[in-house]
Amino acid sequence: MGYGALGTGALRYGLFHGQRLSLSRVDGFRPSLLRIVAKLSMMSNPDGTLSGHRMQPKQGSDWVPFGGRFGSKVDSDQGKIEGRRFGLEILDMRITRARALGTCFGVRDAIDAALSPEISIDLTIVGQLVHNPQTVQRLHDAGVKMVSSSDDEITTRNVMITAHGAPASLKKQLSDQGHIVYDATCPLVLRVHQAVRRLVKEGWHPVVIGQREHVEVKGIVGDLVDFTVIGDLDDLHLLEGRERIGVVCQTTYRIRQAKEILLQIGQRFPDIAIEFIDTVCKPTKDRQNAVDELSEQVDVMIVVGGTNSSNTHKLLNVCREKEVPAYHVENDEQLEPGWFVGVEHVGITAGTSTPHDVIDQIHARLVQISRQQ
């Protein structure tokens, strides 16, 4: 028993010869990748027939013809397949999910906290809890209010800091205003805050490799008097005159690019002392490494996540660096059948803010498109 994969060619009919399944090709059908995606349970009986909980040829039959869509009972002069479903499905397009994708534990915990009944009925989130439109809609539907900053009017007793974090001064400000502050900052983002505090205490000039306008970076540097944010190699001139720098990364930054920046800093400023703490989070690394591997195997990549999601854009960049066609979508309705004409293998990846039910919907839609090709 097991799963099987078949080579190219269109299925016309197949024969069970003893324990062997043979498929025929038919001229005129466009080549496609045929895969058996259902489990087959087949055993050889002493009389030469095949049996199993999925199929049962007629006693004494030598072979069983079958064809078309499988599911209902099939009868023939030579034999029949009994049971409600044979369980064999032929797809024209192989679909593979990256080995790591979708919502990470930090995002999941933040969402669960915001939706908990004891606080959600009287809650305002300062900023966007996560960069995913479906999750934002769920929060709205649950009655959760959102404001872009603490300067906006907040009418609820409960307030929540987003998973991206915030300066300690903001938390104190909200508490002093009489709010109950719930901190949903991801623990791995808090680790960056702690690392920066240690570097400053030890006399290092704090440097953050990341996007200057990203809410996470703003939270990291919000309480610092003197700091530098390096977005890319064009910003290295900002380190002129520094003697000791302590470097951390935005948690969703690409570690490969961060190491390249560190290398260039060392070459451009050979006398500068550098203390580097790798704060790119493991879920981000896992997803970037997974899409790096999968993009070498597929014809097209689908990248699922919010348009304002930093880590989702970085997954998209990995695909582009591999020169694999990649499409960024937020939901299954944005998938275009024309993207997959002639495609034999499509991969799916998703940012750390993307719920797994959204990924399931994307996968289901791709299966539907494959059947319509």
Question: How far apart (Å, rounded) are the C-alpha atoms in residues 205 and 128?
Answer: 30
336 is catalytic: no
Written as six digits, the tokens of 47 are: 């009389």
CA proximity to 114, closest of 101, 104, 103, 124: 124
Specify the pairing of strand 345-350 against strand 14-17.
unpaired
∠ CA(265), CA(266), CA(267), 5° rounding?
95
Written as six digits, the tokens of 330 are: 């937020």
Q: CA-CA distances (angstroms) from residue 373 to 11, 32, 114, 250?
A: 15, 10, 42, 42
CA proximity to 316, closest of 233, 254, 249: 254
Q: Which of 89, 153, 202, 216 is catalytic?
A: 216
Tell me if 50 sits within 8 A of 16, measured CB to CB.
yes
Q: For residue 125, give the 3-state DSSP assignment.
A: strand
Question: How far apart (Å, rounded) are the C-alpha atoms in residues 185 and 220?
Answer: 12
Question: How far apart (Å, rounded) are the C-alpha atoms in residues 115 and 134?
Answer: 14
What is the separation, in whole angstroms, between the first and last Cα of the chain? 30
Question: How far apart (Å, rounded) are the C-alpha atoms in residues 57 and 86?
Answer: 12
Helix (H) / strand (E) element for 180: namely strand 180-183
Give me the active site residues, please: 216
